[in-house]
Chains A and B, each alone.
Chain A
Amino acid sequence: MALLEMKNVYKIYGNVNSLNDVSLSVEKGEWVAVMGPSGSGKSTMLNIIGCMDTPSKGEILIDNVTISSLSRKQLTEIRREKIGLVFQQFHLVPHLTAIENVMLAQYYHSMPDENEAKEALEQVGLTHRTNHLPSQLSGGEQQRVCIARALINYPALILADEPTGNLDEANKEIVVNLFKQLHKEGHTIIMVTHDPEIGSLAERRVILEHGKLKNDCPNLQKVEVLR
């Protein structure tokens, strides 16, 4: 059974179809890259999968739960339990330290656990920066905190919106390697990206254009190492 199932999903703003009859099914452990020009509906799709927005029409199932008919409160619960989010803008709480930002997700999920949060930061290679404020971290470090935060509650699905969009080459590589590792460990990743290089790392590429699913193909010439 697929982890994520989208059936004929529409999102309509006024008379613009941001998503137009999108159907997609993602298996557990898959790495899917969502690509396409800006304005094609990538972020909308991600927001809907992330339970941060609701479709106008159609059905979505995560782990066999139909989320398209849930109340906002229930959506919040699904998001908390099943989904880890990584943003292009990082979105860390500026007045909390790296470890506290990770613990914030634990706090809303269940119980803050300092050791576990430390481990998560260790996993992204930030052992030495646990007690720094976001303003004291570089962009890449901030994104790694963000990833640690996304991972902390063992989500079924990791959603990443242009995770490398705000990073320089060196940091980009670190973050990409992190995703590769996550994939290897069996995490399910859906990633929106502009970058064909990163897109080519995924097992599967989905291309959106004007809200319509244009192409959904397995990545045959999967490159192991960048550049």
Chain B
Amino acid sequence: MFLKMLIKSFTRGMKRKILTIVTIAFGASLASAMLNVTLDVGDQVNKELKAYGANIHVLPKMDTLPLEIGGIDFNPLSDQQFINEADLPKLKMIFWANNILSFAPLLETTATIKGSEDIKIVGTWFDKKLVIPTGETINVGNTTLKPWWEIKGKWATDDTNEALVGQEVAKQLGITVGDKIDLTFENDNPPLNVQVTGILNSGDEADGQLFVSLSQLQQVLNMAGKVQRIEVSALTTPENDLSAKADEDPETMTSEDFEKWYCTAYVNAITYQIEEVIPGVEAKPIRQVAQSEGAILSKIELLMILLTVAALTSSTLGVSGLMTTKVLERSKEIGLMKALGAEDNQIIHLFLSEALINSIFGGLIGYFVGLGFSAIIAREVFGNSLTIKPLVFPLILLISIGVVVLGSLSAVRYMTKVEPAHVLHGR
């Protein structure tokens, strides 16, 4: 009989039931879209912030102080220490290997072109296909590391004599795309003949430099397999007290703290791990990028959390308000059931079962609609697909059941307190 009443109350007034379910579904879709986006926004924005370039510098441990002004090092090359190029793939073998998005080695020297002043020549990777020890192949280099680089012409290719010329150098020496130029080095190094494939506009000191393939430069300088430093771009977690503690000295931390720190993608945890796998180097967070990134990221996450709270509140109140009205609307029915001798519990039981069915339907529909919404947001804003967080699904069902049941419960309880005669006579 209970089942029959339940079914009847659904088949009857189907139109109004649909309205209820649609509202619950919309509330749930809102909640699910917001939760999906909020839970994912950290990763997504983090990737976007990679536009600011490398956030970690890897340098050889040095005895001397670099004498660098405006990007030009006044120390002679011979005094310097180097990192082995063969060690680079190890960057993708640290604990947080997946968070290492890109990196590029740099080897710098100066050269003259047609008797000009000294110009800084940088040997680097443009878009290098790298096989890492795990067997994977990845593309790294300045193409991915420096998204703000604007190239007139096209990018140079690795391991060829192609070169990119900074726009200031190009202007100064009248170099255009397609030119072949000779780089004359100090000491007895042989000259390097390069073909200019692109003029670089980067808006920083790179405009005054000339970029060639690393292997070519190593060859002429007789420095095979050596690089001076590595720029690394990594996805990181915003800093907090724990990472600040580790900043002082990770060795002084309790083993529990250390483990937690080591297994979180803090920038200093990543630099620590880089120093572990590549001996003789110093990995330094570039604070201008790393620190600001953390600041921006936590702002956006907080903003999204607040927006989610707002959205959840509004849909919760909307839905529970609706449920209250729906129950009040059926006061006559409740009065009648009471008049026929129904126990309060039986009435509550019936209404809650109905609410439960409504909320499950609404929640299910809402979850999938919300998935659609968040997919649209992910595509429109970040141009990539959404990572579906499995946590959201049970959460949405729980929230919608909770909201609907609570919304109905208060009204039903209120109604059962009313004398049946009053309700039936419309007082």
Residue B15 at the A interface, CB < 8 A?
no
Q: Considering the chains assembled together, what is the distance between the CA atoms of A94 and B331 in angstroms?
A: 14
Q: B350-384 toward A: CB 8 Å interface, digit per residue (1/0)?
A: 00000000000000000000000000000000000
B427 within 8 A of partner (CB): yes
Q: Report A-chain residues with C-beta under 8 Å of the C-beta of B425.
A: 139
SS class, residues of chain B in contact with chain A: loop
The interface size of chain A toward B, counting residues with CB under 8 Å, comes to 5
What residues on A are CB-neighbors of B135 within 8 Å?
none
Residues of chain B lying within 8 A (CB to CB) of residue A134: 426-427
Does A74 touch B at the CB level, under 8 Å? no
B398-427 CB contact bits vs A (8 Å, 1 = yes)? Answer: 000000000000000000000000000111
A25 within 8 A of B: no
Q: Mark A125-163, 1 if CB is under 8 A from B, else 0.
A: 000000000111001000000000000000000000000
- The distance in angstroms between the C-alpha atoms of A94 and B427, with both chains bound, is 8
Chain B, residue nearest A91 (CB): B426
- For A135, the chain B residues whose CB sits under 8 A away are 426-427
Complex Cα spacing A139 to B426, Å: 10
Q: How far is it, in angstroms, between the C-alpha of A162 and the C-alpha of B427 when the chains are bound?
A: 21
Instruction: Write the nearest CB–CB distance from B339 to chain A, whole angstroms.
Output: 15
B71 CB, nearest partner CB in chain A, Å: 79
A139 CA to B424 CA, complexed, in Å? 12
Q: Which residues of B are found within 8 Å of A94, using beta-carbon distances? A: 426
Complex Cα gap A136–B427 (Å)? 7
Task: For A136, list chain B residues within 8 Å (CB).
Answer: 427
User: In the complex, A134 Cα to B427 Cα: how many Å?
Assistant: 7
Whole-angstrom CA separation of A107 from B69 in the bound complex: 89
* Residue interface bits B251-295, CB-to-A below 8 A is 1, else 0: 000000000000000000000000000000000000000000000
The 0/1 profile, CB within 8 Å of B marked 1, for residues 153-180 of chain A is 0000000000000000000000000000
Question: Whole-angstrom distance from the CB of A79 to the nearest CB of chain B?
Answer: 24
A115: min CB distance to chain B, Å? 29
The chain B residue with its CB closest to the CB of A137 is: B427
**A139 vs B422: C-alpha distance when bound (angstroms):** 12
- Give the docked Cα–Cα distance between A136 and B426 (Å): 10
Name the CB-closest residue of B to A89: B426
Query: Which residues on the B side are within 8 Å of A139 (C-beta)?
Result: 425
Taken together as a complex, chains A and B put the C-alpha atoms of A167 and B371 apart, in Å, by 58
A94 to B422, CA, bound (A): 13
Separation in Å of the B415 CB from the closest CB of chain A? 16
A114 and B425 alpha carbons, distance in the complex (Å): 28
7 CB contacts below 8 A, A to B, read A94-B426, A134-B426, A134-B427, A135-B426, A135-B427, A136-B427, A139-B425
Listed from nearest, the 7 A-B pairs whose CB atoms lie closest are: A135-B427, A94-B426, A139-B425, A135-B426, A134-B426, A134-B427, A136-B427
